[in-house]
Chain A
Amino acid sequence: MKKLGLLVACAVAACAGANDTFLIRGVDVYPVTGPEVKGVSVLIQDGKIADIGAKIVAPKGMKIVDGKGLRLYPGMIDSNTNLGLSEIGAERVTVDTGELGEFMPQLRALSAVNPESAHFPVVRANGITSAMTFPSAGGRGGRGGGGAQFISGQAALIHMDGWTWEDMAINRDAAVHLLFPSIAMRGGRGGMANVDFADEVALLFGGGSAAGTYTEAKRNYDAQVAKVTEFFDQARQYQKERTANLPGFKRDLKFEAMLPVLEGKVPVAVPAARERAIHDAIAFAEKEHIKIVILAPQELDKEGPELKAKNIPVIMGRTEALPENQDAPYDYAESLPGEFYKAGVKIAFGTFDNEFSRNLPYNAARAVAYGLPYDAALKAITINPAEIWGAGDKMGSIEKGKWADLMLVTGDPLETPTQIKALYIKGKEVDLSNKQTKLYDKYLARP
C-alpha cells in the first residue's frame, strides 16, 4: 500500500519533468553501511533514495539509467579543503583564506565560497560530492594568508554544485577552526607544518632551536594557552549574561559565534600534529565541555586509548606525504591511518588542499596498502565524514531516505583508472565536464 503511494508520487514527479526522480537499473550497489547488493535497482525520488531492491517497477515515463556492469557508491567527502575560497594558490588576490585577527569565530567560510570556482567541476568529476571548506589553510600556516591565529572562523560542509553558496550549503557552521597552541611547532601553528629535528631535540633536551630554549618555548606556549582560555572564559561569561538578559547587555558578534561551540552543538576542529598536542587539545576541550575533532595528526603514539574512550574523531592528512623526520620509516604517512583505525579511533580523510582534493580516494587507497582495512578506508571518505560533520542522517551512504549523492563508476573508486560515469548531487545529475575536459577536447581536435 505504502509502496503504491510511492510509485504514484514518482509518476507524478516524472510527469512534472523533475530531474531528481529516476531509476538506476541493474546496478551493483555498495551502500558502505551494509554489504554490497548486486544487480538491483535504486529508485531516486525528489532527490532522495526512495528504494533499493531487485523488483522495483518504474512507472511509465520515468527516466531510467542503465547501471548494468557499473557500481553505485555514495559520493565522496573531503574533510579538509579551501574549495571556493582559494583559486590560484600563489596569487593572493584569488585567495580568501587566512584573515587577520587572532580570535575570529564570526568569520564564515561559506559566504566567501565562489560557486563558479573552476575547482568545483574538476573535483566532482572524480566523484567527490561534498567537502569541508576551511577559513584558513588547514593549519598549514595559511599559504599567503594572514598572521598567527587562534580561531580562524567557521568551516562549512558544502556540496560541489549549486547556483549560489546557499544552494551549496549542507552545514554552514560544521566546525569552528581552532589553532590550539602547540609547544613543538614553529610559530605556534598546528597541523601539517613540519616539526624540525631541531625542535624535537629541543623538546627532548631543552637545547637550542628556532623557539630558543625549551623554557622559552614553554613560556610562550603557556602564555598562548592562557590567551585562548581567557577568550573562552569571556565567551562563557557572555553566554551567562545573554541568558540572564541583564539591562545594558550588548550583543557581540565574536561571542555570538562561540555559542554553538559552548553549547556543544558545533565542534572545534583542531590541527594537532604530535601526541602531546593531541592530548593538550583534548584536555582543553574537556575542561571547556566542548566537542572536538582532531585534524592532521602526525603521530598516534599512546593517544589511541584516550581518542577511543572519548570518542574523538580524527581527520587524517594526506597519506601521499613524506615522513616528518629523517629517521622515520619511509612509509610513515601511509601507515598512520591504519594505526589510528587499529586503536579504535573514528577516522576520515582530508586532502588539506584544493589542487589535490580530487585525489582523496587515492590517499585512502594508499592507507589500505599499508594496513587500513578496505572497508574502513571507504567509510573514511563517505559515512564517517558525514557523521563527523553533522550530516550523517542525510548523506554518506546509500540508504533509504538519504540524499541521492551518488557516483556511478566502472570499478573500485579507490583505484586510479576507474572512471566516473555519472554523478548525482541530491538526485540531480551533475555535469562531469570542466575547464580541463574542455581544453582537452579543444586541443585534441587541433589540426
Chain B
Amino acid sequence: MKLAFLAGLIALAPLGAQVTVIQNATIMSEGAKGTFKGSIVVKDGKITEVGDNVMVPAGATVIDAQGQYVIPGIIDCHSHIAVDGGVNEGSVSVSSMVNIRDVINPEDIAIYRALAGGVTAANILHGSANAIGGQTLVLKMRWGQDAEGMIFQGATPGIKFALGENPKRAGNPQGGRGAPATNARYPATRMGVEDVIREAFNEAKQYKATWDAYDAAVAKGQHPLPPRKDLKLESLKEVLEGKRFVHAHCYRADEILMLIRVADDYGFKIKTFQHVLEGYKVAKEIAAHGAGGSTFSDWWAYKAEAFDAIPYNAAVMTRKGVVSSLNSDDAELMRRLNTEAAKAMKYGGLTREEALALVTINPAKQLGVDNRVGSIEVGKDADIVIYDKDPLSNYAKVQKVWIDGNKYFDRDSDVSARPNKELEKKKLADKEKAATPAQGARRPQ
C-alpha cells in the first residue's frame, strides 16, 4: 500500500525522481565512512545511499567511475566572484547596511571556472575597506540559474569585518599623520579599528535594548510606538542575536586577539577569522573563543602584515583545535583548492582526510551548513565531484560536478563543445566586422 503510494509519487514527479548512481569509485567521503571503494546513490538532489555495494534502482543513470575519485563538492569560505564589481563600499567605516545579495551577477564566468575546479559553494564576501563591512551570503555555483537561484537557501547570512592594514588605509593613504583632514576617514590605526567596532556595538546594544523592550511590550498585548528602524544597526543586532555570522578579515595576532576580546565584551561570537595568517600564534585563543580559521595555504610577503605568514598555519590551527579551512579570495586560486589542501600535508603533516577536510567539511562547519554539505553522507545535498586521479595530486582533473543532484560540469562535454564555440565566435566576429565601419573610424559608443 505504502509502496504503491510511493510509486505513484515518483510517477507524478518525473523531474524530482531522477536517480543517479556513481559506481566503483574511490570515495573520500569526509564523513564517518572515511575513504572507501564503493557507490553513491543520488535521488531528488540528495544522497540517499552510500556504501561498498548498493542496489541500483530501476531507471537510474549509472556512472562507472572505475579508477576515479569522488569527493564532496569543494567549499570556498572566502570569495569575491559573481559580485559585479560591487565588492567595497569604502566611503564609511561601518557599512553594515549594504548587502552582497544586491549585486550578485550569475553570469560571471568565474562561476563556471570555479565549477571546473570542483567548487560547489562559496562564501561571497564584501571587501576589506571597512572595520565593519557589508552583509555576506553563501552561493551554490548553479551556473545558468539567475541570481536568486544561486543562493544557498538556508545558509546563515554573514557580515564582513576587517582589521589591520586595509581598513586603516582606506581613505588614508598617508595613515593618520600626513592625510589631509578633509579626506581622512577614521580609523587610520589598529587602535582606531578597535574603537570603530566598539562604538558600533555600543550603539547596536542600545538599539537592540530599545527593540527588545518594544517586542516585550507587544508580547504583553500593549501597543507602544515602534522604535525607528536603523539599517546599519539592524545587521549588528542580528550579530548580537547570533542570527548573522561574523567573518573577520585579519592578519596579525594582536588584532585577532583584540577582536576576540571585543566580542567577549559585547557578548557576540566571531564565526570565522579570515586570512588569519598569524592564527598559528594565537590558535589557543581562537579555539577557546570557538571561532574557525580560514586561511591561505602559502601566500606571504605581499604586504607587511603578511610577512610572518607560514604555510604551516592551517596545520598548526588544526592541531590546536581550531576548525580550519583553506580559501582562495581569488577567482584563479579558487579552481585548485584541492591541491591547496595537499599543501597542508607537505607543510605540517596533516593526513589526506584532514587535508581534504580543509576545503570540504571544515568550511561547511564554518558557514554553518555542515548538516547539508561538506561530506558524502546519506541525507546530505548531492554536491559531488569526480576526479580522474587522486584529488590531492597536481595531475588530477575534475571530470564531473553535481550540485543538488544536477550535473553542472562535465569535462568531456566542455572539451567536445569547443570547436562549435570557436565556430560560433568566428561567425559573430565576421558579422560584427561586416557591420563595422572601416578601420580608423571610432565606433559609436
Interface residues, chain A, with chain B CB atoms under 8 Å away: 87-91, 118-119, 122, 204-208, 212-215, 320-322, 326-327, 329-331, 354-356, 358-359, 362, 365-366, 368-370, 414-419, 435-437, 439-440, 443-444, 446
Contacts and interface: CB of A to CB of B under 8 A. Distances in A.
Contacts of A326: 109
Nearest to A369: B395
Contact of A436 (B284, B303, B304, B310): B310
Given A215-B439, A320-B336, A88 B304 contact: yes
B440 A417 contact: no
A417 B298 contact: no
Contacts of A436: 300, 309-312
B112 interface: yes
A327 B425 contact: yes
A436 B296 CA distance: 14
A119 B302 CA distance: 12
Given A320-B333, A369-B394, 12 more contacts: A88-B301, A88-B307, A91-B304, A204-B432, A320-B336, A322-B113, A365-B395, A437-B312, A440-B280, A440-B348, A443-B281, A444-B319
Interface string B111-135: 0110010000000000000000000
A416 B394 contact: yes
Interface string B323-334: 000000001110
A326 B319 CA distance: 41
Given A207-B443, A416-B342, A417-B346, A439 B303 contact: no
B301 A415 contact: no
Given A91-B304, A206-B440, A415 B425 contact: no
Contacts, number: 132
B281 to A, nearest CB: 5
Question: Which among A118, A322, A366, A418 has the greatest number of chain B C-beta atoms within 10 A?
Answer: A322
B222 interface: no
B298 A359 contact: yes
B384 interface: no
A355 B277 CA distance: 15
Contacts of A118: 301, 307
Interface string B285-328: 00000000000001111111011111110001001000000000
Contact of B439 (A206, A417, A446): A206
A24 B161 CA distance: 54
Interface of B: 109, 112-113, 116, 280-281, 283-284, 298-304, 306-312, 316, 319, 331-333, 335-336, 339, 342-343, 345-348, 392-397, 414-415, 418, 421, 425, 429, 432-433, 436, 438-443, 445
Q: What 4 A-B pairs come out closest when comparing CB atoms?
A: A206-B439, A365-B394, A207-B443, A416-B342
A132 B322 CA distance: 40
Question: Which among B300, B309, B393 has the greatest number of chain A C-beta atoms within 10 A?
Answer: B300
B301 A320 contact: no
A362 B441 contact: no
A205 B395 contact: no
Contact of A415 (B113, B394, B429): B394
Contact of B301 (A204, A208, A354): A354
A322 B331 contact: yes
A446 B332 CA distance: 35
A362 B439 contact: no
Question: Which among B113, B299, B302, B436 has the greatest number of chain A C-beta atoms within 10 A?
Answer: B302
B443 A205 contact: yes
A368 B436 contact: no
Contacts of B425: 327
A330 B395 contact: no
Contacts of A435: 308
Given A88-B301, A362-B394, A440-B316, A208 B310 contact: no
Nearest to A143: B302
A3 to B, nearest CB: 40
A436 B312 CA distance: 8
B392 A417 contact: yes
Given A205-B433, A321-B332, A355-B300, A415 B442 contact: no
B312 A440 contact: yes
Nearest to B411: A331
Contacts of A417: 342, 345-346, 392
Given A320-B336, A416-B346, A440-B280, A91 B303 contact: yes
A411 to B, nearest CB: 11
A89 B281 contact: no
B116 A330 contact: yes
Nearest to B394: A365
Contacts of B309: 436
Contacts of B343: 416
A440 B346 CA distance: 13
A435 B345 CA distance: 19
Contacts of A122: 300
Contacts of B281: 443, 446
Nearest to A200: B429
Contacts of A368: 394-395
Contact of A355 (B301, B342, B418): B301
B421 A327 contact: yes
Contacts of A444: 280, 312, 316, 319
Contact of A322 (B316, B332, B414, B443): B332
B311 to A, nearest CB: 6
Contact of A208 (B299, B394, B442): B442
Question: Which among A207, A214, A321, A366 has the greatest number of chain B C-beta atoms within 10 A?
Answer: A207
Contacts of A91: 303-304
A446 B395 contact: no
B143 to A, nearest CB: 11
Given A419-B346, A444-B316, A215 B304 contact: no
Nearest to A87: B301
Given A329-B414, A444-B319, A213 B346 contact: no
Contact of A207 (B331, B396, B442): B442
A116 B145 CA distance: 53
14 contacts: A87-B301, A89-B303, A204-B433, A205-B443, A213-B439, A327-B425, A354-B301, A356-B298, A416-B339, A416-B342, A417-B345, A417-B392, A443-B281, A446-B281
A354 B300 CA distance: 10
Contacts of B298: 356, 358-359
Contacts of A365: 394-395
Given A91-B303, A205-B432, A355-B301, A415 B310 contact: no
A208 B442 CA distance: 6
B392 A416 contact: yes
Nearest to A322: B332
Nearest to B432: A205
Given A213-B440, A213-B442, A369-B396, A418 B346 contact: yes
A443 B299 CA distance: 19
Contacts of B397: 369-370
